[in-house]
Structure 1
Amino acid sequence: MVLDAFRARLGSIIGGFDAAQSHRRLRGFRASRAHVNTLIAASGETITARARWLARNNGYAANAVDAFANHVVGDGIKPSSRIADATRKEDLQKLWLAWTDEADAEGLTDFYGVQRRAAREVFLAGEVFLRIRTRRPEDRLTVPMQLQMLPSEMLPLDLNRALPGAGSIRQGIEFDGIGRRVAYHFLRRHPGDSTDPGLSGETVRVPASEVIHILDPVEAGQLRGVSRFAAAIVKLFTLDLYDDAELERKKTAAMFAMFITSPAPETALDPAEEDLEVEPGQVVRLDPGEDVTTPATPDSGSTYEPFQYRTLLQIGAALGVPYGYLTGDTARGNFSNTRIALVDFRRRISAFQHSVMVYQLCRAVWTRWMDMAVLSGAIDLPGYARDRRAHLACDWLPTRWDWIDPAKDAAAEILQIEAGLKSRSQAISERGYDAEQVDREIAAERKREAELGLDFRRPGSPAKGVGQTAAGEEPADRPEGTDAEDDEGREPRPAEEG
């Protein structure tokens, strides 16, 4: 405190940066100097609990989570091995595809579904854990390995202690003397799951080699993740309360159709004999002295929608999700503005795909899966132990995003390929497919078409080459002015006139 006061006094004397002053505008601005690990240890569980509550009960929050996960994963971030041998590569890709259906230890989804669940958890809780479970041969899996997802609550934030030697446990993660992650101390049961009969509070040590920790760190030295909702929870919750208040006010106002004022009765507490019900076109006769009035209820007027719109824009900015994806409102904004917002959003998603999902999740799973596939004999890769790095080389292909007008995008892509600005392999990879596999499929289709005398090519595509025809077809008549000798490399002769 003394040091902070000295710094404040020195800053007021020296000046230079208004942001560091304590004048009238910033007098109440007390920013914590605590490291992010301290802040997460103090508030992480509360933030995660509130984020999960909003995702369950608030439509905007649920929409934001789904929009993020769907764009990050889509149909799946899929591998394309770089093994040069085409036959071995094809066998490897088939083995991987067969294993993806067995990847989830809970048996609820495939590997790409695990990716989507992981993306949801990172958005909601800031992190998620995948435990690699090695299986026995009698389990009859394609490759004896599965993935078990563990939510962030399974790793206690308050587990901190020094270990014999130079090691330590910080926020449930065990480190060695030079700061490497050695193990994770997970709870045996979820602290909030009362249906699990396991011992509450008991932990189990799992080696770090068996755990994949997925998080998107925002500060250097950060150990645990923080929810994407951290900057939006206050506005989301208070906007929800405001909407509820508006609905209640409207409902209450709608309950009162009219009030009838009568002269003071002899007994003030006597109830009316019957209530007056009003029907369309009805003529109502009142007793002498009675008067009918309708309630004048306050209305939100023209400020309600602009206020909601601006608040939702702030929430969308805090979550990193465009307004349209957050609300489902497609009426606001023109095409150009919407496209600009989507381009920015997709750049963010692309950065998250490659720096978090691919680097932390996909690469780790692929490496362990390849080792298990070779060791179990599921696939034969000669020289794997000698040149493991080359065999592990792999490209991860996210699902391609489609625009509103795919015809124009496809035409632009064709022009780029024809101009040499990109290759077909690059264009196919950007769509989330393996170029060699696509080429093999196209070649097989062309062969089948030729055998059946079919041709589904785009008009003008030179797929069959000069002089080639489909099986069973006769060569087309030659244009006038040419003869058979032209095919032997001689200059064509112009047709004789007359």
Structure 2
Amino acid sequence: MTEEKQETYVRKTRRSQPGSHRFALAKQGLTGPRLSGLALSINEELRRDLSVIKAQSRRAGNDDGYVVKFLSMCETHIVGPEGFAFQSKAKSFGGQSDDKAANDLIEEHFENWGKKGSCDVTGRYSWQDIQTLFIRTVAEDGEILVRFVEGFPNQYGFALQLLDSAHLDINYNREIKDGTRIRMGVELDEWDRPVAYHILTNHPGDRVYFYGNTRYEHIPASEMLLAFLPFRVGQCRGVPWAHAALLEMHHLHGYREAELTGARVAASKMLAYEPDSDVEPEEEDDEPDFVEEVEPGMAVVVPYGYTLKELNFNQSGSNFAAYMKEGKRGAASGLDVSYNTLGNDGEGISFSSLRQFVLEDRDGWKKKQRWMRQELCDLVKSKWLRMSLLSNAIPGLRFSELKRLDNHRFQGRRWDWVDPLKDEKANTEAINNMTKSPLQIIRERGEDPETVINELLEFETMVEQVRKKRAVTTQQQGNQNGKEEEQDS
């Protein structure tokens, strides 16, 4: 084939490609939305939009009842009323079994450290309070800063400091050297691993910040945690969890406000004085005496030359409930929770449907529990144990044994069913069919099998002691009755 024929063939082939082979969404301006042709990185998107998203999320967290409900659900279902249950799993020197004596010591001292006034540098929070604040802040702001203060003047030489993520300046971006760079206050190496955080010494919302005191403190990543739930590769800052629902919530709030205003106006009976076109106005300086406020049963005298007209503003509101329901459904999808729970709406839902929604919600809460356990709880416990052993705060345990002692388990809360009898029967059948073990069932309920077994053994011991005391008492009463019968005879 000659070069001329080849060129003609290529030209014909290019022209014959039909436009219908493109993705429909890519047809900008025709059937798809208008998008920028340049694909921005996640960090560039956050640099441009994160401050506005966080401000809107905080506003909704203060004023929007459904967002407040969502944040409360995060506290209730992720942390729970008692926080994550901690159990030490230190191994014996041979590594074949658990070291019960060491585990009891570690659990006792970790509980003591977690009391209010010890684990937090301000002395305001307990370990459970820190967990609750952690998850609420991450849900509302998308991120939180947790500083590990080693050498703090308490018994264990370790405490936590919670910081607002606003201390990380979104506009602080630098190229340093050797591939190291600063993105929105986070210093990253060539592998995008955080190596340090450049923290504003003053909160940008404080007035002192605006008087030339923009100073940064360089804190290594080993001493601080920027906790956020990532949703895209390469992300170095967090996004509020309600970001996909905030716009829908904003529309719902505006629509509800407009409907309520219309309903109030429609419910108000108003009067208007209308000039009579058949009556010529008199040339007088004084204004007519108009009655602007009326009371029940009150008679009104209409000024000469005017007629009284009643104003009625009809407000049907027939679409209000349907629109609000659909809007809340969309918002619930953006929050990754079921609409019935978020909207407090149990109308017209069957038990089986409710169970399905609850199961899906609980799986979502478990995913967030797993993230929080790995992100915060495991890290805090390991750092606490290291500093406690260095400070000789746990008698009988040495720092040289850190490797075997630093094993533990945090268990998130679990939930009971509305009909627990059916679930208990199902668990019994599962044990009989050997599809579940009792240990697995105990863990699914949020309990520790070892603790449950020890409590059962303790209970059996107590029952045995009571039985022995009753037997002795019964025997003494029998002997006493026998002596009385002998004396009577």
Shorter-chain TM-score bucket reads: 0.7 to 0.9
Q: Residue 121 and residue 293 in structure 1: after superposition, are their counterparts in 2 closer, same or farther (change >3 A)?
A: same
After TM superposition, the structure 1 = structure 2 runs for residues 355-370 of structure 1, keeping only pairs within 5 Å, are 356-370=371-385
Q: Residue 432 and residue 115 in structure 1: after superposition, are their counterparts in 2 closer, same or farther (change >3 A)?
A: same
Q: 1:213 aligns with which of 226, 229, 244?
A: 226
Distance 1:179 1:290 in 2: 79
Contact 1:189 1:198 in 2 (8 A): no
Partner of 1:460 in structure 2?
Answer: none
Partner of 1:302 in structure 2?
Answer: 318
Task: Kindly report the root-mean-square deviation, in angstroms, between the aligned alpha carbons of the 2 structures.
Answer: 3.2
Q: 1:37 aligns with which of 37, 43, 47?
A: 43
3-state DSSP of counterpart to 2:104: helix
Instruction: Output one character per residue of 1:330-353: Cα deviation in whole Å (capped at 9) or x when no partner.
Output: 335332222222211111111121
How far the C-alpha of 1:41 sits from its partner, in A, is 0.6
3-state DSSP of counterpart to 1:184: strand
Q: Residue 276 and residue 187 in structure 1: after superposition, are their counterparts in 2 closer, same or farther (change >3 A)?
A: closer
The answer on 1:324 being equivalent to 2:331 is: no
After TM superposition, the structure 1 = structure 2 runs for residues 162-241 of structure 1, keeping only pairs within 5 Å, are 162-194=175-207, 200-241=213-254
Moved more, 303-312 or 58-67: 58-67
After TM superposition, the structure 1 = structure 2 runs for residues 122-137 of structure 1, keeping only pairs within 5 Å, are 122-136=138-152
Q: Residue 267 and residue 76 in structure 1: after superposition, are their counterparts in 2 closer, same or farther (change >3 A)?
A: farther
Partner of 1:272 in structure 2?
Answer: 289
Q: Residue 335 and residue 368 in structure 1: after superposition, are their counterparts in 2 closer, same or farther (change >3 A)?
A: same
Distance 1:161 1:202 in 2: 15
Partner of 1:464 in structure 2?
Answer: none
Name the aligned partner's letter for residue 452 of structure 2: V
Instruction: Output one character per residue of 1:124-173: Cα deviation in whole Å (capped at 9) or x when no partner.
Output: 1111111011234xx343x2211111122111122221224442222211
Instruction: Output one character per residue of 1:282-310: Cα deviation in whole Å (capped at 9) or x when no partner.
Output: 89999999876543313143211101100
The answer on 1:409 being equivalent to 2:409 is: no
Instruction: Output one character per residue of 1:377-429: Cα deviation in whole Å (capped at 9) or x when no partner.
Output: 122566763661x4322222001112222333333334434443333333232
Contact 1:155 1:185 in 2 (8 A): yes
Contact 1:187 1:202 in 2 (8 A): yes
Moved more, 257-266 or 402-411: 257-266
Q: What TM-score do the two structures reach when normalised by structure 2?
A: 0.81
Contact 2:289 2:303 in 1 (8 A): no
The answer on 1:378 being equivalent to 2:378 is: no
After TM superposition, the structure 1 = structure 2 runs for residues 401-480 of structure 1, keeping only pairs within 5 Å, are 401-453=415-467, 471-472=471-472
Q: 1:99 aligns with which of 90, 113, 118?
A: 113
How far the C-alpha of 1:246 sits from its partner, in A, is 1.7
How far the C-alpha of 1:267 sits from its partner, in A, is 6.2
Q: Residue 428 and residue 373 in structure 1: after superposition, are their counterparts in 2 closer, same or farther (change >3 A)?
A: farther
Partner of 2:268 in structure 1?
Answer: 255
3-state DSSP of counterpart to 1:159: coil
Q: Residue 332 and residue 196 in structure 1: after superposition, are their counterparts in 2 closer, same or farther (change >3 A)?
A: farther
Moved more, 161-170 or 335-344: 161-170
3-state DSSP of counterpart to 1:157: coil
Q: Which runs of 5+ in 1 are unaligned?
A: 1-8, 454-467, 476-498
Instruction: Output one character per residue of 1:249-274: Cα deviation in whole Å (capped at 9) or x when no partner.
Output: 22233332455668556469733364
Name the aligned partner's letter for residue 37 of structure 1: N
Moved more, 423-432 or 48-57: 423-432
How far the C-alpha of 1:67 sits from its partner, in A, is 1.1
Q: Residue 402 and residue 109 in structure 1: after superposition, are their counterparts in 2 closer, same or farther (change >3 A)?
A: farther
Distance 1:187 1:10 in 2: 59
Q: Residue 276 and residue 353 in structure 1: after superposition, are their counterparts in 2 closer, same or farther (change >3 A)?
A: closer
Q: 1:147 aligns with which of 141, 160, 172?
A: 160
Moved more, 410-419 or 430-439: 410-419
Moved more, 25-34 or 94-103: 25-34
Distance 2:75 2:410 in 1: 17
How far the C-alpha of 1:43 sits from its partner, in A, is 0.7
Contact 2:84 2:413 in 1 (8 A): yes
Partner of 2:99 in structure 1?
Answer: 85
Partner of 2:94 in structure 1?
Answer: none
Contact 1:185 1:205 in 2 (8 A): yes
How far the C-alpha of 1:248 sits from its partner, in A, is 1.9
The answer on 1:49 being equivalent to 2:55 is: yes
Q: Residue 182 and residue 28 in structure 1: after superposition, are their counterparts in 2 closer, same or farther (change >3 A)?
A: closer
Q: Residue 383 and residue 283 in structure 1: after superposition, are their counterparts in 2 closer, same or farther (change >3 A)?
A: closer
Q: Which runs of 5+ in 2 are unaligned?
A: 1-14, 91-97, 476-489
How far the C-alpha of 1:119 sits from its partner, in A, is 1.1
Seq. identity, %: 26
Contact 2:390 2:399 in 1 (8 A): no
Q: Residue 21 and residue 402 in structure 1: after superposition, are their counterparts in 2 closer, same or farther (change >3 A)?
A: same
The answer on 1:28 being equivalent to 2:34 is: yes
